[in-house]
Structure 1
Amino acid sequence: MLQMDSGHLKRSSNSFRPSVLLLVTLLALFSGSIRIVNGEYISHSYQHNFTCVDWKRAPEAAVGNCTRYGRYGALRCYGGLNNLPTIPDLKVRRLEEIIFCGWPERVFNPLTDLQPFPRIRSLTIEHSDLREIAYDFPEMLYLQTINISWTNLSQINPRTFKRVHALRVVDLRWNQLVQLDGPLLLPRYFEKLYLAGNPWNCTRNFKWLLIPEKGAFIADREEIICADKKYKERNMMTVMGYKVLLRTECQSHVDLLNCSCTMHHIIPKTHIPLYTINCSNLQFQAMPSYIPANTTTLYLNNNEISDVLPLLDNPSYQNVVDVHLDNNRISSIDVLEGGYWFEHFRLLSLRGNKLQKIPVYALDNALDDNPNANLLLLSDNPWQCTCIFTLRFREILMKYIEIMRDANNITCVYKNSKPMRRANVLALTPQDVCKPEEEPKIYPLDLLNGVLAFLIVAILSKLAWDYYYYKNYGRVPWIVMKLP
């Protein structure tokens, strides 16, 4: 009997335990000290996972009130702080967690807006029209976590969080941040900074992300995506890595020390970078002997270059499809005939050089075989107005006028004309260049014929005179008298 009673009591005790646990759990949930997420119990210390999504559905949102919950001192405010004065000051000063859903102002001033909460450990501002943090945060001894997300915050001062000495985590995801003037100045024991989800402009200088002592705090570096037109949807770390690599390559070669090296594109699928090198206005005597790999555009305008041979025999130029050589001293591009580059280029600008003639047939073959050719500029050169070259050159200009877009500005100079006379190549006709006015009208043969005619007339005149003299005076010419 005793054994049965003992077993009965044991069974009663086992059946009682779940009820007790359920009751304790319900009381804890009712008091706000624990909550259930995905079937797991989460203590108050992790309630910063609370989200402000659909905060306007909360009853407090209608009047912009706050709700105090949990025995750890937490406050949720929905669209305003209208009822804050009704909460006892002592309880307000003990609050440890503040969540502002729908901050009512466009500006957040930590100096005044956080003054009533000296002991807070966690600050959250989500889903609001907040656009600016007016001043740096004051010295706060307890604040460890700051979450400002899903707002219109577009800029932030690097010194904003410097004086929050206990700060460990800052979450700035999903705002409208475009750039940082430099790495944030953070307290000594800081741990994690989140920056993903912002429309970052990767044309700005974010190379400091690659420096361990400056970028190590960024917990989501690999998730930061560029939003600017140039690098849209590219990973920021990839973009900055290529920028640093390019800068190192340009600084390592003496030919490029004073040149500007930039990355203008990253191919979407392959993530191959494309570079632009600008060496204009540097008094270069020759084209650089070294160009970084993946360079596609090269500017060498306003220098003293006279030779384009590197385009033919330097492997560094194989992928350079756009070459700008305006205002140099180039007098011939004959060496490019039949070369790989001349049949694969996309843009070649030779305006303002010293070109007088080019191998027209080679240019025709190159443009005909090159599907990539998009622009060839040849104006402002002293082209010669000669019969054969000019007419053939005119045909090429008309045939490829969509590629040679400055054809209407190309002029030629009549040789030996004084004063010097220019003519628009497209407007010339065969009569203009094959029978130029400057050619002499009297040729040597014509002059000889004239002399002979004059001598004939003179002889005949002398003969007539001698006959007349003999007829009237009976005297023969003296030359006849001298004959034997």
Structure 2
Amino acid sequence: MPTTTAPMVVESSSAAAPTLSFELRLLLLMALLALLSGSVRVANGEYISHHYQHNFTCVDWKRAPEAAVGNCTRYGRYGALRCYGGINNLPAIPEQKVRRLEEIVFCGWPERAFNPLTDLQPFPKIRSLTIEYSELREFVLDFPEMFYLQSINISWTNLSQINARTFKRVHALRVVDLRWNKLVQLDGPLLLPRYFEKLYLAENPWNCTRNFKWLLIPEKGEMVADRDEIICTDKKYKERHMLTVMNYKVMLRTECQSHADLQNCTCTMHHIIPKTHIPLYTINCSNLQFHAMPNYIPANTTTIYLNDNQITDVLPLRNNPTYRHVVDVHLDNNRIESIDVLEGGYWFEHFRLLSLRGNELQKMPVYALDNALDDNPNANLLLLSGNPWQCTCIFTMRFREILMKYIEIMRDAGNITCNYKHISPLRRANVLAITREDVCKPEEEPKIYPLDLLNGVLAFLIVLILSKLAYDYYHYKNYGRVPWIVMKLP
């Protein structure tokens, strides 16, 4: 028995040693992993900011003791520096330590401008830059040649503009966060280094009337990590998603360029209906020597400009279904002679604006215009001045009544004039000021009426008789001579 028991004890003791060794190795491995997770670098060399690890923020930075004098404080073992309201005590920190700093956080940058060339010169090995809750408005210069800086966070500032080349020479740059600033526009996509990863642009008052179509280009737009969250704040597209606006703009441009009738026209989107997100388009084909209205216009077009062309008729407004929902039509300075074809049509009873100034209109169906304006609650503006209206007795008086009745819609009524005959050659007069006597007289009227001639003769005889009576009275009183006619009486 003893000979068999001893080996078993030795076996158990020899097995315990490797078990204990494995546990120690596991503990050492976990400690090593913990150390690596807190480090500022990972295996592939990418920098992880200590600022983000501890969720540090500059909110309420003014409560920090250093804020009273605008000083900086070094912290942590990773070479980080926090500055509150200034960098007044930076010269007091040993230069050797400053040059080793890898992370800089500026809370409340005291100036409106930031010059990367001079303000970052003391920190040649900086890997993370943060500027928050500051009056910063602009970068004086682009960032200089930098080989270590990987993360830039500029948030909660008054930064309102940024150059496309601002970060071009920051060769190791991976992340740029520009949220919560005052940025309105970008002239184009930022020029960024080859291995750049993420750009954040949301929560800025972006003006979507500017050109942001580059967001739809995969190799340029996909690096904007929050592009789905960017909201427009301009008056035209307020509270619409920027990607939605840009998608509609690109679709409209493609559609206009694909049709020969509109290739030289300017196609723009002027509104997006809030709830339905339906886009509304404006087509401008002015001054393009058109002899007819385009046969095709994109769906959802509500406004079209065709001024200063050679168009002679408006028949498409009645017959072409693509114009059914066009409510504003500008046809100034063309060669339109009549709009009779619009009578009784759908468009004429649903339009909002029709401008026909400077055409060749002489007459129009006044009753049809009256019916259309009376039945159309959408009619807001009808402009007819600058046409050679011919004022006849019947048309003029009725036309004048319509102008006065719809003076709020026909706002240029005071400038509408007409040609009419008044004894001699044609005269031009304001329709609102013209009277029935001006236009309802016969074309050939004598200068002296017979009744006027008779009245003149009678007046002459009365004067003659009174003169003879005065003559006879004078001679009778002074000479006693009576008129000879009295002597001849029986």
Fold-level match, TM-score > 0.5?
yes
Q: Is the 8 A contact 1:33 1:43 kept in 2?
A: no
DSSP 3-state at the match of 1:419: strand
- State the partner residue of 1:108: 114
- State the partner residue of 1:234: 240
Does residue 126 of structure 1 match 2:124? no
Does residue 356 of structure 1 match 2:362? yes
Measure the CA separation in 2 of the matches of 1:143 and 1:407. 68
**Superposition deviation, residue 415 in structure 1:** 5.3
Does residue 419 of structure 1 match 2:425? yes
| Cα displacement string for residues 145-184 of structure 1 (whole angstroms, at most 9, x for unaligned residues) | 0001111111111111111111100001111111111110
TM-score, normalisation: structure 2: 0.80
2:62 is aligned, of 56, 61, 68, to: 56
Query: What is the letter of the counterpart of residue 221 of structure 2?
Result: G
**Superposition deviation, residue 428 in structure 1:** 2.1
Measure the CA separation in 2 of the matches of 1:199 and 1:77. 28
2:261 is aligned, of 255, 261, 275, to: 255
Does residue 47 of structure 1 match 2:50? no
Measure the CA separation in 2 of the matches of 1:182 and 1:43. 29
Q: Is the 8 A contact 2:59 2:133 kept in 1?
A: yes
Structure 2 residues without counterparts, runs of 5 or longer: 1-33, 41-47, 450-490
1:338 is aligned, of 341, 344, 349, to: 344
Does residue 199 of structure 1 match 2:176? no
Query: What is the letter of the counterpart of residue 426 of structure 1?
Result: L
| Cα displacement string for residues 298-355 of structure 1 (whole angstroms, at most 9, x for unaligned residues) | 1111111011000001011011100011111111111101100000000001111111
Query: What is the letter of the counterpart of residue 351 of structure 1?
Result: R
**Superposition deviation, residue 222 in structure 1:** 1.1
Measure the CA separation in 2 of the matches of 1:230 and 1:52. 34
- State the partner residue of 2:160: 154
**Superposition deviation, residue 44 in structure 1:** 3.6
| Cα displacement string for residues 175-233 of structure 1 (whole angstroms, at most 9, x for unaligned residues) | 11111111100000000001111111111111111111221111111111112222122
Does residue 210 of structure 1 match 2:216? yes
**Superposition deviation, residue 362 in structure 1:** 0.7
**Superposition deviation, residue 440 in structure 1:** 6.6
Measure the CA separation in 2 of the matches of 1:224 and 1:191. 18
Measure the CA separation in 2 of the matches of 1:360 and 1:43. 77
Does residue 174 of structure 1 match 2:174? no
CA shift in 2, pair 1:440/1:249, >3 Å = farther
- State the partner residue of 1:428: 434
Q: Is the 8 A contact 1:33 1:71 kept in 2?
A: no
Q: How many residues get paired? A: 408
Query: What is the letter of the counterpart of residue 353 of structure 1?
Result: N
CA shift in 2, pair 1:259/1:417, >3 Å = farther
CA shift in 2, pair 1:45/1:379, >3 Å = closer
Greater Cα shift, 417-426 or 145-154: 417-426
**Superposition deviation, residue 96 in structure 1:** 1.3
> Superposition pairs for residues 79-118 of structure 1, below 5 Å?
79-118=85-124
Q: Is the 8 A contact 2:423 2:445 kept in 1?
A: no
Query: What is the letter of the counterpart of residue 184 of structure 1?
Result: L
Structure 1 residues without counterparts, runs of 5 or longer: 1-27, 35-41, 444-484
1:372 is aligned, of 368, 378, 381, to: 378
Measure the CA separation in 1 of the matches of 2:202 and 2:289. 45
TM-score, normalisation: structure 1: 0.81
- State the partner residue of 2:195: 189
Query: What is the letter of the counterpart of residue 170 of structure 2?
Result: V
DSSP 3-state at the match of 1:311: helix
- State the partner residue of 2:84: 78
Q: Is the 8 A contact 2:421 2:439 kept in 1?
A: no
Query: What is the letter of the counterpart of residue 402 of structure 1?
Result: E
Q: Is the 8 A contact 1:167 1:189 kept in 2?
A: yes
Q: Is the 8 A contact 1:65 1:81 kept in 2?
A: yes
CA shift in 2, pair 1:405/1:46, >3 Å = closer
Q: Is the 8 A contact 1:387 1:434 kept in 2?
A: yes
- State the partner residue of 2:401: 395
CA shift in 2, pair 1:43/1:85, >3 Å = closer
Q: CA-atom RMSD, angstroms?
A: 2.3
